Chain A
Amino acid sequence: MRKMLAAVSRVLAGAAQKPASRVLVASRNFANDATFEIKKCDLHRLEEGPPVTTVLTREDGLKYYRMMQTVRRMELKADQLYKQKIIRGFCHLCDGQFLPLIQEACCVGLEAGINPTDHLITAYRAHGFTFTRGLSVREILAELTGRRGGCAKGKGGSMHMYAKNFYGGNGIVGAQVPLGAGIALACKYNGKDEVCLTLYGDGAANQGQIFEAYNMAALWKLPCIFICENNRYGMGTSVERAAASTDYYKRGDFIPGLRVDGMDILCVREATRFAAAYCRSGKGPILMELQTYRYHGHSMSDPGVSYRTREEIQEVRSKSDPIMLLKDRMVNSNLASVEELKEIDVEVRKEIEDAAQFATADPEPPLEELGYHIYSSDPPFEVRGANQWIKFKSVS
Chain B
Amino acid sequence: MAAVSGLVRRPLQQMTVRDAINQGMDEELERDEKVFLLGEEVAQYDGAYKVSRGLWKKYGDKRIIDTPISEMGFAGIAVGAAMAGLRPICEFMTFNFSMQAIDQVINSAAKTYYMSGGLQPVPIVFRGPNGASAGVAAQHSQCFAAWYGHCPGLKVVSPWNSEDAKGLIKSAIRDNNPVVVLENELMYGVPFEFPAEAQSKDFLVPIGKAKVERQGTHITVVSHSRPVGHCLEAATVLSKEGIECEVINMRTIRPMDIDTIEASVMKTNHLITVEGGWPQFGVGAEICARIMEGISEKLVLEYSQAVIIMYLNIHWIKRSETRDGQVTWFNLPCVQLPGCSCCSSHWC
Contacts and interface: CB of A to CB of B under 8 A. Distances in A.
Contact of B113 (A154, A168, A374): A374
Given A156-B115, A170-B108, A388-B293, A185 B120 contact: no
Closest 7 CB pairs of A and B: A182-B80, A178-B76, A212-B73, A153-B117, A186-B84, A179-B80, A152-B117
Contacts of A290: none
A179 B86 CA distance: 13
Contact of B70 (A185, A189, A212): A212
6 contacts: A151-B119, A152-B119, A186-B80, A216-B73, A216-B77, A383-B152
Interface of B: 36, 62, 65, 67-68, 70, 72-86, 103-104, 107-108, 112-123, 152-153, 155, 175-177, 255, 293-294
Interface string A321-352: 00000000000000000000000000000000
A185 B80 contact: yes
A216 B67 contact: yes
B177 A375 contact: yes
A212 B83 contact: no
Contact of A376 (B65, B75, B118): B118
Contacts of A219: 68
Interface in A176-190: 177-187, 189-190
A181 B68 contact: no
A156 B116 contact: yes
Contacts of B294: 388
Contact of B153 (A119, A162, A216, A374): A374
A212 to B, nearest CB: 3
A4 B76 CA distance: 57
A216 B70 contact: yes
Most buried by A among B80, B103, B104: B80
Most buried by B among A154, A180, A213, A376: A376
Given A186-B80, A376-B118, 5 more contacts: A121-B80, A175-B76, A182-B80, A374-B113, A374-B152
Contacts of B62: 189
Chain A contact residues (Cβ within 8 angstroms of B): what range?
35 or more
A64 interface: no
A190 B75 CA distance: 20
B118 A396 contact: yes
Nearest to B72: A209
A381 interface: yes
B113 A375 contact: yes
B153 A179 contact: no
Interface string A206-221: 0011001101100110
Contacts of B108: 170, 172, 175, 179
Contacts of B85: 186, 190
Interface string A141-162: 0000000001111111000101
Contacts of A381: 255
A219 B72 CA distance: 16
A282 B65 CA distance: 18
A177 B76 contact: yes
B84 A187 contact: yes
Given A177-B76, A183-B81, A155 B86 contact: no
A315 interface: no
Contact of A180 (B80, B255, B293): B80
A375 B122 CA distance: 10
